[in-house]
Structure 1
Amino acid sequence: MVRHGTFAYTWDIVGDPGAATRIAGLGIDTVTLQAAYHAVRGVTPWHPRHRLVHAEHAAAYFKLRPERWARLRPPAPTWGVEHDDRFGAASAALSAEGLRVEAWLVLTHSSAVGTAAPEVTVRNAYGERYPYALCPSHALVRDYALTLVSEVCEQYDVAALMLEACGWLGFEHGSHHEKTVGADLSAGARTLLSICFCAACRTALGPDAAELAGEVRAAVDGELQCGVPATLATERAAALLAHRAAVIGDLVRQAAALAGGREVLLMAADDPWLTGPDVGLDLSAFRAPADAYVLKCWGDPEAAVSQVKAAAGRTELALVANVSVLEEPWEGVSRLVAAGASQIRYYHAGLASRARLDRIRAAVQENP
């Protein structure tokens, strides 16, 4: 039996008395509900009081208890329908419809926190900061991420936690008026520009960190200025990936310990070089106690099926296919199930038109 669920924002539900019933009518049994989230602008086709919500910065949508936070703390939202506990109100409405609620937590992606504490953000080999990217090598960042987890677990009876950005964010990020395309940076150069050299990462990498940073700069400059593809020596790469795996594994283990028996679903990809919302891992070697990996199955259906099939051969954990109904073409849920996905999450009930909601309903009916 396949578990079907959908993503939703709290502002899709709070202030709309018909929202939870409409979502339940899709035939799904689970809603992955935003509890801590990054900045975004989204349309709200169904809400009786607004059509666009502009979340100007990352925020916590659960009830903030000031005494529980140290130096790093998430701000509260000021957009959408005003409510002091948006997550609580939305999850209660969904539960009343018999839906299982998962808390969707974005851990290390916050321009608001990064701007307030730039010393804990990712720093590239040139010394430049990425304010949207909190570096999990820092104890302050780990404490911040784990407080997000513990506050949700202590205050709400949710069934599971879906962890997004449970590692590093890197060079790839949709900045305002992005102007990086014309430099023709290869995937390799973008990967090198995603390596963090903040104080905590330099300490963890040891005395060779300075040489590694120099090699990264030389490789990127060689590509930008001379057209030589950017690469990194094998031994340097192994040390860096070992550092990342250790930090990510420790963070997941501590989050699972705080979960109190709840399922831990980790947004991930089977590529240890990956930085971003889906944490980069070697799925065959990663041993932290997650219950399932959530694989982003957006875009090309063939690539999505291949990704799920490959992951199924490399891990015994359950696989959740994160399928976007906001793109064209959109198809292939049955093929993802056949490839090894035991659960589907449809992205995204609050952003979808009537026709796209109908597609979710049809997919659920076709894959019981």
Structure 2
Amino acid sequence: MVRHGVFAYTWDLVGDPDAARRIADLGADTVTLQAVYHSVRATTGWHPRHRVVHADHAAAYFRIRPDRWRGQRLQPVAPGWGVPDDDRFGTALKALTAAGLRTEAWMVLTHSSILGRSAPDLTVRNAFGENFQYALCPAQPEVRSYVLTLVREMCAQYDVAELMLEACGWLGFEHGSHHEKTAGADLSTCARDLLSLCLCPACAAQLVELDPVQLARDIRQLVDRELQQGIPAGANLADAIGKTRAEIVFQHRAKVIADLVADIRSVASGPELLLMATDDPQVTGPDVGTDLTAFTESPDAFVLKCWRDEEAALAQVKAAAARTAVALVANVTALDERPEDLASFTTRLVAAGASQVRYYHAGLASPARQQAIRTAIRGESG
């Protein structure tokens, strides 16, 4: 039996007594509810009190208990938008439970500009010594402590079925900053991956066998040559910096991510862990790039983003299903140009090896797109 779920924001539910019923009417049995989330601007088409929510910084939407954070430099910030409520996650959870829906906590872990600005030394640092303020580095002990306290607090206060972990690794150059002005440089994918490689002190200490100082020097030369002379940096990281050095980088990333998942498991004994991931160690971003077979203690499911290119998404699910016995969750979007294709696409994903589907996004979707979600769920479950 395929489990179907939809994404939702707390502001879709808090202050709207009809929201949980509308979500239940889509036919899903699970709601992936925002618990810790980055900045965003979102429409709220049905809410009785607002139409646009502008979350101008990353925030924790569950109850923040100050005594549990004492002594930590990184501490979550409460939201100041939407309908006031000091426990928005808890309020939304109660409404969803009353509507007969299973809830999983959607936790964006290392993506926070407000915390990155407050502690730039704990953020991703590229080969030019520039920090990405939106990207906390998971190799930093203080970042790991922050992440584990988030998870511990979620599990201590709420009865949720799963934790969906987003940004459980490094965010890289690709981010989509406010008023992004990087497209005209025509940077190749390889150059962007080079700029995404973190060489902060914590990462450099774990990459000592490849000489991180020399690696930074080489990366700067490759990127500048592409920017200033138009000479491509390489086909991929292995081509650009050499296979041996690329493998050391990938092993470092895989170990940090796997260790962090294992640590999260140790403090989250109840809920299942769903990890947003891609089976490519070169990738950085909210869906962590790692070898799906490298975990000593695997998550309960890998969530694979199946957006935009349908054939590439199907190939990704098939390849992952052939490489791991861990359950696969297809993350599909109803916000693309052709929502009417969602039902057939979902059916193909399940045939390719996905055992669950999550639809993005119950609150952002128009009536026509909500109908596409409803049709897809009924077609797959019926």
Aligned counterpart, 1:225: 228
Segment drifting more, 55-64 vs 323-332: 323-332
Query: What whole-Å deviation, never above 9, does each CA across 1:80-128 have from its counterpart, x for those lacking one?
Result: 0000100000011001111000000000000010001111000100000
Equivalences for 1:94-109 in 2 at 5 Å? Answer: 94-109=96-111
SS at match of 1:169: coil
Report the aligned-residue RMSD: 0.9
Aligned counterpart, 1:317: 326
Aligned counterpart, 2:156: 154
Aligned counterpart, 1:259: 268
> Is the contact made by 2:329 and 2:355 (CA closer than 8 Å) also made in structure 1?
yes
SS at match of 1:240: helix
Match of 2:256 among 235, 247, 256: 247
d(CA) in 1 for partners of 2:279 and 2:180?
27
> Is the contact made by 1:256 and 1:289 (CA closer than 8 Å) also made in structure 2?
no
Q: How far apart are 1:288 and its partner, in Å?
A: 3.0
Query: What whole-Å deviation, never above 9, does each CA across 1:262-286 have from its counterpart, x for those lacking one?
Result: 1100000011011110000112333
SS at match of 1:193: helix
Q: How far apart are 1:366 and its partner, in Å?
A: 0.4
Equivalences for 1:157-168 in 2 at 5 Å? Answer: 157-168=159-170
What letter corresponds to residue 378 of structure 2 in structure 1? Answer: Q
Match of 1:215 among 195, 198, 218: 218
Query: What whole-Å deviation, never above 9, does each CA across 1:148-183 have from its counterpart, x for those lacking one?
Result: 111100000000000000000000011111111111
d(CA) in 2 for partners of 1:221 and 1:354?
48
Aligned counterpart, 2:190: 188
SS at match of 2:357: strand
Q: How far apart are 1:355 and its partner, in Å?
A: 0.8
Task: Tell me whether 1:278 sits opposite 2:287 in the alignment.
Answer: yes
Aligned counterpart, 1:365: 378
Aligned counterpart, 1:39: 39
d(CA) in 1 for partners of 2:360 and 2:184?
31
What letter corresponds to residue 356 of structure 2 in structure 1? Answer: Q
Aligned counterpart, 2:309: 300
d(CA) in 1 for partners of 2:243 and 2:230?
21
Aligned counterpart, 1:51: 51
Match of 1:327 among 329, 332, 336: 336
Aligned counterpart, 1:84: 86
d(CA) in 2 for partners of 1:295 and 1:239?
25
> Is the contact made by 2:254 and 2:294 (CA closer than 8 Å) also made in structure 1?
no
Equivalences for 1:121-200 in 2 at 5 Å? Answer: 121-200=123-202
> Is the contact made by 2:33 and 2:104 (CA closer than 8 Å) also made in structure 1?
yes
d(CA) in 2 for partners of 1:183 and 1:290?
38
> Is the contact made by 2:250 and 2:290 (CA closer than 8 Å) also made in structure 1?
no
Match of 1:345 among 349, 355, 358: 358
d(CA) in 1 for partners of 2:276 and 2:168?
8
d(CA) in 2 for partners of 1:152 and 1:286?
24
SS at match of 2:207: helix
- TM-score after normalising by structure 1: 0.98
Percent identity of equivalent pairs: 65
Q: How far apart are 1:36 and its partner, in Å?
A: 0.3
Aligned counterpart, 2:73: 71
Q: How far apart are 1:61 and its partner, in Å?
A: 0.2
What letter corresponds to residue 242 of structure 2 in structure 1? Answer: A
Match of 2:116 among 103, 114, 117: 114
Query: What whole-Å deviation, never above 9, does each CA across 1:131-150 have from its counterpart, x for those lacking one?
Result: 00000111000001111111
- TM-score after normalising by structure 2: 0.95
d(CA) in 2 for partners of 1:146 and 1:41?
27
